[in-house]
Amino acid sequence: MNAAVPRQRVLIVDDEPANVHSLAEALGACYDLRFATDGTRALELAGSIAFDLILLDVVMPGMDGFAVLRALKAESATAPVPVIFVTSMGEVADEEQGFDAGAVDYITKPVSAPLVRARVRTHIELKRQRDQLERRALIDELTGIANRRHFDEALDRRWNHALRAQLPLLLVLVDVDHFKQFNDHYGHGAGDDCLKRIAGVLDREFCYCREAWRRTNCHACCMR
Ligand SMILES: [Mg+2]
């Protein structure tokens, strides 16, 4: 595997260290693995690291797998992460309950390493394709910056955050003067190039501003 390509992150959650070990042996060569042996720790990790997939035991002391899955689905940041239940509960009704709870797949113990690898690979690829489609739906095709839909969603989110936190909201409106004359004179191809360059300059400048805002802990609005 190319060392420059970051490996996908997989979280393994199981209260039995031996089960964690066997899943790690099956997947360690292909993925960046993290581990948790209880539901609380699993939620802490999932809240702070962007995982591509979670392998989740069902029967655990304290918070069981269904409760962990409900908590993951309740948070917008963790809701899209595919979860595969890995459990010894092999009845059809158990599997049905797992799918109803929002799991994408269900693997019964004892696990087969090739089967786990195949299912993990499939669901990570499906997530990658879904993420790509979602990104495309939010990006303007010509300029490559956020489109109107992304703008509306981000503004709504930031507006509500500013109201709740009683913080000011900054919105910059940029108009390109005399653009019709530019198109008429240089042609629409040159007009498109012009828009791309303007969008690129604004994107670069706002990237710099976003970093400055982060450094000063300012919660001003940014579009990404
Ligand atoms: Mg268990």
Q: Is position 222 within any domain?
A: no
Same domain assignment for residues 183 and 76 = no
- Label residue 210 by pLDDT band (50, 70, 90): low
Number of domain units in the chain: 2
Range of the domain at 22: 9-138
Considering the entire predicted model, what is its pTM?
0.69
**Given a cut of 70, is residue 216 above it in pLDDT?**
no
Same domain assignment for residues 113 and 30 = yes
State residue 171's pLDDT score.
87
State residue 222's pLDDT score.
44
Q: What is the 68 CA–ligand 1 centroid distance (Å)?
A: 13
| pLDDT mean over 174-200 | 94
- Label residue 223 by pLDDT band (50, 70, 90): very low
- Label residue 121 by pLDDT band (50, 70, 90): very high
What b/e readout covers 123-143, taking b as 16+ CB neighbours within 10 angstroms? Answer: bbeebeeeeeeeeeebebeeb
Residue 32 CB-half CA count within 13 A:
10
Q: What is the 88 CA–ligand 1 centroid distance (Å)?
A: 8
Closest CA to 60 of 43, 77, 39: 39
CATH of the domain at 52: 3.40.50.2300
**Given a cut of 70, is residue 3 above it in pLDDT?**
no
Q: What distance in Å separates the CA atoms of residue 192 and residue 20, rounded to the nearest whole number?
A: 53
Q: What is the 48 CA–ligand 1 centroid distance (Å)?
A: 23
Q: Pick the last residue of a domain from 105, 138, 171.
A: 138
